[in-house]
Each structure stands twice: as C-alpha cells, then as structure tokens.
C-alpha cells in the first residue's frame, strides 16, 4: 500500500489563449473544470499504474469537494483518511494554458492548509509519497511513521526543516527547485531526481549522477500533471525494485504520456499506455 499525503484541488483551466504578461488581459480562452491538486494527482497516477493507494488529505465540506474527489473514487483510491472540514473551502487552482501547452498556475489552498500532524499520527503507513502543498508538520509526522520508501516532491520550493529531508529516501525536484535547494538535496545514500522538462530527467545518488533519460516524442496538449505523474511513476518503479535506469526511463515516459491529453487527472496514463509509448 502506498500512502500519499498531499493536496486536493479543483482545477479551473482556461486554455487556448496566449499566456498574459503582468498587467495584460487576454481573451478567447476555453474554460474547463478538472479534479486536481498535486497530492490527488500523484495518488491517482500511482493507482492507474497498478498500485493500491490511500490519500491522506483535507477538503472543505462544500459543493466542490465531491467534484474534486470524483476521479479518485472512480480510480479506486482509498479516501477513508481524507478529511472533510467545516469552515474551510476545498482548494482551487486557477490555470492558464497557452496554445503551445505551457501553463501558469495560481493556487488557493483552502482546506489543504488545515491538514495537521494529528490527522496522520494514528495512521499505519508503509510507503509514503508527500508534496509540499500541505503543511510540513503533517508530512513530517507521516514520514516518521512510514516503514517503506519515503518519497518527497519538494514542490513548490520553500524552506523545509533538515529533519524532513533526512527522513526521505527519494527527493524529486524540477530545475528551478533544484537551484533553490542546492547541495542540501544530496546526502549519502539518498536518491534525488531532477526533472528537466522536454530534456527528460536525471537521477542522482549521494551527489553523483547515476542515470539519465529523455522522453519519447509526443504531441503536447498541455503539461499540467506531468510532473506529478513523473514523481508517482518513479516512486512506484523503485518500490517494485526496478533498477535505477529503467525506473527513470519509465517515469519520463509516463510524464510524456500525461502531456498528450488535457487536464491533470483525466490525462494520467495507465501502465499499459506508458509501456506502449516506451515501445515506440
């Protein structure tokens, strides 16, 4: 069982118009609503890749909660540890996607910021995946309880206590986040994956690069959710005992597959879809 400790959002996506510059208004976009949130995306990605997954999260006791959780329920993710909070709103992400597939995102965390250490202290946790869109005390409490792999997606980039980094077996960052954290990412025996967008990804261990992979060519529709899929796929592959190079190659292909469809969760690929893309 994989336990994901992370965020749940409802994504409001405006696509098809150029991304605005500061102070600029653009028009002609199409509006869509998708379940999202990095924690929820990662949980559903792991489930679609064939794993049993439970999500520890918080949503508001409001109309948006069920819409945000709909695909997780349909995908078989265990939501018994997801908390419905009175007086809080379900998290919302405002996303603009350009015709080229690039995006800008503004997140209104809502109930995600109310997830606490007490929400995880009685939970049994084997493998744990966590993301920084929920409070660090909740992540730290979960990491302490985990008996298997502890994987952390250090996004968005923000200061974290050394103890949380020490608990991690795997840290996953993009280039911007890697620059923010610097040498603090690397420690003896710890795996660090750095995603490089269209250039693929690198895997480091103890400060030494041990693998690199480039993605297969795909037609990019939008990149929302690609990083979450990469993180979940790499973690799942390592949990299954796949070697480092093959695990990174699989994760990069999974991220690429996500870019071929619109929306975060609707675009998350199955294991069969990733394996088919690898064969091409």
Top pLDDT among 280 and 197 is at: 197
| pLDDT digit string, tens, across residues 93-133 | 898 989 987 888 888 999 999 999 999 988 999 999 999 99
Q: What is the pLDDT of residue 222?
A: 77
Sheet with 30-36, strands from edge to edge, namely 30-36, 9-15, 91-97, 103-108
| pLDDT digit string, tens, across residues 179-235 | 999 999 999 999 999 999 889 999 999 999 999 999 988 888 877 789 999 999 999
pLDDT at position 263 over 80: no
The pTM assigned to this predicted structure is: 0.90
8 A C-beta contact, residue 227 and residue 201: no
| pLDDT digit string, tens, across residues 30-75 | 999 989 999 999 999 999 999 999 999 999 999 999 999 999 999 9
pLDDT at position 177 over 90: yes
pLDDT at position 169 over 80: yes
Q: What is the pLDDT of residue 122?
A: 86
Q: What is the pLDDT of residue 193?
A: 98
CA distance 241 to 244: 9
CA distance 9 to 94: 10
Band (pLDDT 50/70/90 cuts) for residue 264 is confident
Q: Tokens 């990605």: give the residue.
A: 45
How does the average pLDDT of the chain come out, rounded? 94
- Of 78, 169, 222, 228, which residue is the catalytic one? 228
Query: Is 228 assigned a catalytic role?
Result: yes
Q: What is the pLDDT of residue 130?
A: 98
Closest of 4, 28, 32, 20 to residue 263, by C-alpha: 32
Q: What is the pLDDT of residue 103?
A: 82
Closest of 104, 107, 108, 109 to residue 22, by C-alpha: 104
Transcribe the chain into DSSP letters.
Answer: -EEEE---EEEEEEESSPPPPTT------EEEEEEE-HHHHHHHHHHHTT--EEEEEEEESSHHHHHHHHHHHHTT-B-TTEEEETT-PPEEEEEEE-TTS-EEEEEE-GGGGG--GGGTTT---SEEEEETTS-HHHHHHHHHH--S-EEEE--S-----HHHHHH-SEEEEEHHHHHHHGGGG--TT-EEEEE-GGG-EEEEETTEEEEEE-PPP---S--TTHHHHHHHHHHHHHHTT--HHHHHHHHHHHHHHHTTSSSSSTTPPPHHHHHHHHH-
pLDDT at position 273 over 90: yes
Q: What is the pLDDT of residue 134?
A: 97
Q: Which two tokens stand for residue 247?
A: 């695990």
CA distance 161 to 164: 6
Question: What domains are defined for the chain?
Answer: 2-8+36-88+111-279 (3.40.1190.20)
């Amino acid at each position: 069982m994989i336990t994901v400790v992370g965020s749940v959002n409802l994504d409001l996506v405006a696509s098809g118009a150029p991304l605005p510059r500061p102070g600029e208004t653009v028009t002609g976009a199409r509006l869509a609503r998708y379940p999202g949130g990095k924690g929820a995306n990662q949980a559903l990605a792991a489930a679609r890749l064939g794993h049993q997954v439970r999500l520890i999260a918080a949503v508001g006791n409001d109309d948006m909660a069920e819409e945000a959780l709909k695909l997780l329920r349909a995908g078989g993710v265990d939501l018994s540890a997801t908390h419905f909070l009175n007086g809080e709103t379900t998290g919302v992400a405002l996303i603009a996607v350009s015709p080229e597939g690039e995006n800008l995102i503004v997140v209104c965390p809502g109930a995600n910021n109310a997830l606490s250490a007490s929400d995880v202290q009685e939970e049994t946790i084997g493998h744990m995946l966590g993301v920084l869109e929920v409070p660090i005390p909740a992540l730290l409490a979960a990491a302490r309880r985990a008996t298997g792999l502890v994987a952390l997606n250090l996004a968005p980039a923000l200061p974290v206590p050394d103890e949380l980094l020490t608990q991690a077996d795997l840290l996953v960052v993009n280039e911007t986040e890697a620059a923010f954290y610097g040498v603090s990412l690397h420690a003896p025996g710890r795996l660090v994956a750095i995603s490089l967008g269209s250039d693929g990804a690198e895997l480091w261990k103890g400060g030494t690069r041990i693998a690199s992979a480039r993605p297969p060519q795909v037609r990019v529709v939008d990149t929302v959710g690609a990083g979450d899929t990469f993180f979940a796929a790499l973690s799942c592959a390592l949990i299954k005992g796949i070697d480092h190079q093959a695990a990174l190659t699989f994760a990069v292909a999974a991220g690429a597959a996500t870019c071929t469809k619109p929306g975060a969760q609707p675009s998350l690929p199955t294991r069969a879809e990733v394996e088919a893309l690898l064969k091409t």
